């Protein structure tokens, strides 16, 4: 099989490519610029150089405030000729598509950029998949569906408003919009399955992405951890689930949560600290500390013009319980959740070897 993968330099996309290659499949990978040679070293990958954001002439003409399902206004430009689009050409040449690329900004700013990448970029992929009758394995996120709680583990059927709902930051809004684009294309002939990963850790986190949390925990003692929790999963297990969904004969449009171990951040940070050689946190944050941290972060963003990671949206998200059940994926896709210690060991080794030890060597 020949598969087109977006987000191939990211944690999940790169892992999907490796697993596809391991079983003999070839891959076309979308890249914005030439990546470091080691990212795809030894892999059977043909690079497609293009941005996920539709180029001029392919904009859908929507403003951020318009509903996803509404047609573009009169100011919207007509789509460019697909023959001139390298993304469309790549999809035409492949048997299936894995759309793993996304912009992740856990804040109130960058909503327009997030919509351009996550909503409009997804529409570009979807339209091409419909045009060429290719199956799409679309990567969503648990942040685009319902929220869990300390007493309730959410699944694919949990109402969106459960536990107060997700924080409507740029990432949540734009990823929900991207999922809606996919759902609305199914009556038009799109063949798809939608996968919602939990909090992924693992090797081949080149940037890093979710590994930034482990890197931050390893940068110095963090006495207070966030008060909420996440569903820790291994990127290798998620990748295997994505491929199983791509191969499987599940109902069209079926959605699956690919999550894992429902831990508090205090427990997660304690385990991360062990692997990074740091003291563990002594407690989780109280509401007063979190409220103050959010205010300080937002104020700093206004002063600098750059919204920091510890803005009020990110702080609020870290106080929620993103706890999920993967029972549907386990039953229908054969999804398996490995031991959390194995995941943390692999992620810790990757982060230390690539982002901690090299810097120390340079300093010496």
Give the tens place of pLDDT for each residue, 57-105: 544 433 333 333 333 233 333 345 666 899 999 999 999 999 999 999 9
Q: Is the pLDDT of residue 339 over 50?
A: yes
More confident call, 271 vs 286 = 271
The region that residue 281 occupies, defined by phi over 0 for left and psi between -120 and 50 for alpha, beta otherwise, is beta
- Angle at the Cα of 40 (from 25 to 6), degrees rounded to 5? 70
- Number of neighbours of residue 204 by Cβ within 10 angstroms: 22
Residue 110: pLDDT band by 50, 70, 90 thresholds?
very high
Give pLDDT, residue 54. 65
Q: What percent of the chain stands above pLDDT 70? A: 89
Reported residue count of the chain is 364
Give pLDDT, residue 294. 72
Give pLDDT, residue 55. 61
- The mean per-residue pLDDT over the stretch 334-350 comes to 98
Q: What percent of the chain stands above pLDDT 90? A: 79
Q: Is the pLDDT of residue 285 over 90?
A: no
What are the C-alpha distances in Å from 36 to residues 15, 163, 256? 16, 42, 32
What are the C-alpha distances in Å from 130 to residues 68, 82, 91, 123? 18, 13, 10, 10
Q: Is the pLDDT of residue 363 over 50?
A: no
- The mean per-residue pLDDT over the stretch 355-361 comes to 63
pLDDT tens-digit map of 229-252:
999 999 999 999 999 999 999 999
Q: Which helix (H) or strand (E) holds 329?
A: helix 327-333
Output the pTM of the full model. Answer: 0.89
pLDDT tens-digit map of 300-333:
788 888 888 778 888 899 999 999 999 999 999 9
Give pLDDT, residue 71. 30
What gap in Å lies between CA 30 and CA 6, rounded to an integer? 5
Sign of the torsion formed by the C-alpha atoms of 136, 140, 146 and 147: positive
- The mean per-residue pLDDT over the stretch 18-25 comes to 97
Q: Is the pLDDT of residue 349 over 80?
A: yes
Give pLDDT, residue 16. 98
CATH C-level class of 2-207+232-261+323-339: alpha beta
Transcribe 38-93 into DSSP letters.
Answer: GGSTTS-EEEEE--SSPPTT------TTS-TTSPP-TTPPPPPPGGG-HHHHHHHH
- Which 3 state secondary structure label does DSSP give 165? coil
Query: Are 175 and 115 within 8 A, CB to CB?
Result: no
What gap in Å lies between CA 213 and CA 193, rounded to an integer? 29
What gap in Å lies between CA 22 and CA 148, rounded to an integer? 35
């Amino acid at each position: 099989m020949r598969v087109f993968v977006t987000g191939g330099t990211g944690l999940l996309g790169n892992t999907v490519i490796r697993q596809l290659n391991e079983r003999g499949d070839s891959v076309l990978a979308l890249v914005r610029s030439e990546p470091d040679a080691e990212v795809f070293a030894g892999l059977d990958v043909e690079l497609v150089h293009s941005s996920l954001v539709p180029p001029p002439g392919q904009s859908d003409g929507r403003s951020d405030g318009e509903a996803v399902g509404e047609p573009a206004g009169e100011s919207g430009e007509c789509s460019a000729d697909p023959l001139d689009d390298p993304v469309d050409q790549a999809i035409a040449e492949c048997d299936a598509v894995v759309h793993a690329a996304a912009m992740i900004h856990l804040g109130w700013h960058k909503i327009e950029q997030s919509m351009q990448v996550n909503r409009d970029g997804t529409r570009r992929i979807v339209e091409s998949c419909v045009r060429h009758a290719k199956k799409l394995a679309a990567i969503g996120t648990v942040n685009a569906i319902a929220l869990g709680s300390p007493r309730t583990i959410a699944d694919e059927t949990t109402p969106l408003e459960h536990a107060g709902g997700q924080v409507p930051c740029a990432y949540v809004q734009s990823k929900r919009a991207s999922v809606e684009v996919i759902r609305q294309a199914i009556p038009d002939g799109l063949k798809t399955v939608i996968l919602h990963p939990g909090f992924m850790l693992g090797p081949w986190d080149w940037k890093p992405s979710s590994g930034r949390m482990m890197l931050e925990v390893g940068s110095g003692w963090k006495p207070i951890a966030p008060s909420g929790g996440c569903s820790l999963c291994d990127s290798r297990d998620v990748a295997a689930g994505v491929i199983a969904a791509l191969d499987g004969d599940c109902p069209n449009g079926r959605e699956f949560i690919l999550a894992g171990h429902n831990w508090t951040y205090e427990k997660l940070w304690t385990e991360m600290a062990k692997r990074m050689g740091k003291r563990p946190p002594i407690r989780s944050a109280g509401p007063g500390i979190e409220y103050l941290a959010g205010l300080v972060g937002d104020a700093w963003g206004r002063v600098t013009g750059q919204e920091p990671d510890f803005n009020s949206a990110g702080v609020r998200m870290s106080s929620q319980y993103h706890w999920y059940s993967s029972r549907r994926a386990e039953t229908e896709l054969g999804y398996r959740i490995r031991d959390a210690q194995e995941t943390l060991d692999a992620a810790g080794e990757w982060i230390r070897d690539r982002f901690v030890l090299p810097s120390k060597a340079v300093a010496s």
